[in-house]
Amino acid sequence: MDREKVDLTGAPATMLATLYSKAVDARSAGSVLHDETAARAVDRIDHDFSRTGLPARDGISAVLRSKEFDRRAREVLANQPELTVLHLGCGLDTRVYRLDPPPTVSWYDVDYPAVIELRRRLYPERPGLFPTARSVEDPGLLDGIPGDRPVLVLAEGVTLYLRTAQGLATFRRIVEHFPAGTLIFDGYSSAGIWLQQRTGVVKASGARLEWAINDPEELTTLVPGLVFDEEWWFPSPADLRAHYPWFQRQVLRALFASPFKRLGRGLTYHFGSTR
């Protein structure tokens, strides 16, 4: 089997760590995601994954974050079987294969050209899937994407890598382009950005972080038409009990109940008549 040589730096390099965490999970006896596509991709990639900077304790956190994103995306897809999905900054994530949406869904995996080219070599084609080689910050991001249906926007582990002005501009373009939609993404406070910049995968990759989201309501002013729905945390209480040792559970519970709970969390918004 031919192996793909991968040598990435900066923000794109972090995708190797999250892919690897899903492959490790797929090979474990108590797998959460059962992501065999990710496991096969890791087998195909010629890369020293020990260089990703992902501590073993953080691997399960990345998996459980994806599990919660998947769950929320499934709910939207179940209620709206005919829509467009923008999977922004998709990296090497195999979400479209995990969720297996019906052919009535048009799914756009969006990332840098080099990332999309690697995806084409690693992953099979499927009906309704459109690999899109553009930066999330590209003013032409939506060129050629029909705006006649509601949209589901998924951006996992993406916003912190965007420049603030360009990230806001992308959200404005989406709200203006589609008649209605749901946005599901994670956001980090200023303290969370500071912390992420200095630890783990981000530090190892050399990526620079900027966009902090301290007050989720502020986005509704900066992006006209956007409505804030929910702020949520991962792991869920059930996953916390099932996958973390006692001491770590207590630390995370204390964090979620403290003023620092917005270091990193999930955010859900909508616009138009999706509800």
pTM as predicted: 0.92
Average pLDDT score over the chain: 90
- pLDDT(14) > 90: no
pLDDT tens for residues 77-90? 999 999 999 999 99
Cα dist from 240 to 15, 130, 235, 250, whole Å: 24, 35, 6, 10
Helix (H) or strand (E) holding 44: helix 36-44
Q: Which residue has the higher pLDDT, 192 or 12?
A: 192
The whole-number average pLDDT for the span 82-104 is: 96
Q: What is the pLDDT of residue 46?
A: 85
Q: Which of 72, 272, 78, 275 is nearest to 178 (CA)?
A: 272
Q: What is the pLDDT of residue 56?
A: 52
The whole-number average pLDDT for the span 237-256 is: 86
CATH topology assigned to domain 4-271: Rossmann fold (3.40.50)
pLDDT tens for residues 128-156? 999 999 999 999 999 999 999 999 999 99
- pLDDT(274) > 60: no
Q: What is the pLDDT of residue 259?
A: 78
- pLDDT(4) > 80: no
pLDDT tens for residues 20-33? 899 999 999 989 99
Q: Which residue has the higher pLDDT, 197 or 163?
A: 163
pLDDT band at residue 257, thresholds of 50, 70 and 90? confident
Q: Which residue has the higher pLDDT, 4 or 113?
A: 113
Cis preceding linkage at 235, omega within 30 = yes
pLDDT tens for residues 217-239? 999 999 999 999 999 998 888 88
Under a CB-based contact definition with an 8 Å cutoff, are residues 209 and 178 in contact? no
The whole-number average pLDDT for the span 111-131 is: 94
d(CA 232, CA 126): 32
Amino acid at 70: D
- pLDDT(96) > 60: yes
Q: What is the pLDDT of residue 35?
A: 96
Residue ranges of domains in the chain: 4-271
Longest Cα pair distance anywhere in the chain, in angstroms? Answer: 52
The whole-number average pLDDT for the span 238-249 is: 87
Query: In percent, how much of the chain has pLDDT > 70?
Result: 91
Q: Which residues of 221-243 are buried (b: 16+ CB within 10 A; e: fewer)?
A: eebebbebbeeebbbeeebbeeb
d(CA 73, CA 107): 12
Q: Which residue has the higher pLDDT, 147 or 198?
A: 147
The whole-number average pLDDT for the span 189-214 is: 82
d(CA 170, CA 86): 12
- pLDDT(200) > 70: no
The whole-number average pLDDT for the span 188-194 is: 91
Beta bridge partners of 230: 268
d(CA 234, CA 252): 10
